[in-house]
Amino acid sequence: MDFLTSRLTTGHWARFVVYPLAALAGVAILHARHASADERNGFELAGASIPPAEIHQGGPPRDGIPAIDQPKFVAVDAAEFLSNTDQVLGVFRNGHARAYPIRILDYHEIVNDRFGAEPIVVTYCPLCGSGVAFSAQAAGAARRFGVSGLLYNSDVLLYDRETESLWSQILGQAISGPLQGRRLERIPITHTSWSDWRRRHPDTLVLSDRTGYRRDYTVSPYAGYEESRRVWFPVANTSRRYHPKERVIGLELDGRYKAYPFAELAKGTGALMDIVAGRQVTVRFDAVHRTGQVFDASGRMIPSLTAYWFAWYAFHPDTEVYQAKQ
């Protein structure tokens, strides 16, 4: 069974779609057969900065996983659909705190939002366990993003609706289209439990589960995936050093990469001083809430990526890896 068929026919995926699975499978497979080597899901890949052969169809067509374009938020007291241990992506920006529950992002992957006058896009790839927030300004204009239905290194490829350029979530860079080579500004994000985010920001707003789409957000379409060693789609680089789904904090500074596996951080006391690319950083880890953040020498939080080990290594095989002293 190939990767496309596997994703389309899994029981968890069947819960995901709202239209008949057989119809989706037929459309996706037919499209795959008739698409040229340089065109997938309606996106031209000729001249892409990564080999088109390494870009895979994830199953759904373009926008088959619908981004949330008009997010609605509720206050803490109204977020009764969340339990204390539910994971959220938290963003504090321009004086506003907002939480984006993973149980909702599993079904939508992208939220086009605004923090005051600033356009923000919050993204999550369930296959890589990676949550990234970006300023949605690129090439002097605000952009709105959708889910292309394509993957690179098992990671979601976004597309901006204005130019239809494809963007790698983990690279934060356009890999094809008119904006190829442009980068998006990363915004610090916290991947943590709902109880932890609520404690830090008691006045936070929460993305409502009333999204306008018919989804059962109480059921994960990826149940069992995090525990499994299986990676559903091909990746360019693999490593057996850790469980493929071991969570790591990935840091990029001045072209240098370093991973801090949770398994290593859990051996310490919660705060780690380190030097990366000649710069002092502090990694703060909370084993209870399974969350970590990185701060510079002045105490300012800097963007980092919490993701599965396999995903970080697939993009950064030359990464340094923090190992706790025995």
> What pLDDT sits at residue 180?
95
Give me the pLDDT at residue 37, please.
63
pLDDT at position 30: 39
Regarding whether 255 and 207 lie in a shared domain, the answer is no
Please tell me the distance from the alpha carbon of residue 110 to that of residue 31, in angstroms, as a whole number. Answer: 24
Q: The domain containing residue 268 runs over which residues? A: 247-321
1 and 134 co-located in one domain = yes
Q: Work out how many domains the chain is built from and give that number.
A: 2
Residues 101 and 180 in one domain: yes
Locus of tokens 């932890």: 196
- Residue that is last in its domain, among 171, 201, 220: 220
All residues at 6 or more sequence positions from 77 whose CB lies less than 8 Å from its CB, including other chains = none
Residue 229 included in any domain: no
CA distances from 204 to 76, 84, 99, 194, 305 (A): 7, 15, 7, 11, 22
Residues 159 and 286 reside in one and the same domain: no
Any domain includes 326: no
- Does 47 share its domain with 160? yes
Residue 68 pLDDT? 97
pLDDT along the chain (326 residues), means of 10: 37 36 37 58 90 91 95 96 96 94 97 94 97 94 96 97 96 95 95 96 96 93 93 94 96 95 90 93 94 94 96 97 88
**What pLDDT, on a 0 to 100 scale, did the predictor assign at position 21?**
33
| pLDDT for 46 | 87
Are 264 and 207 within one domain?
Answer: no
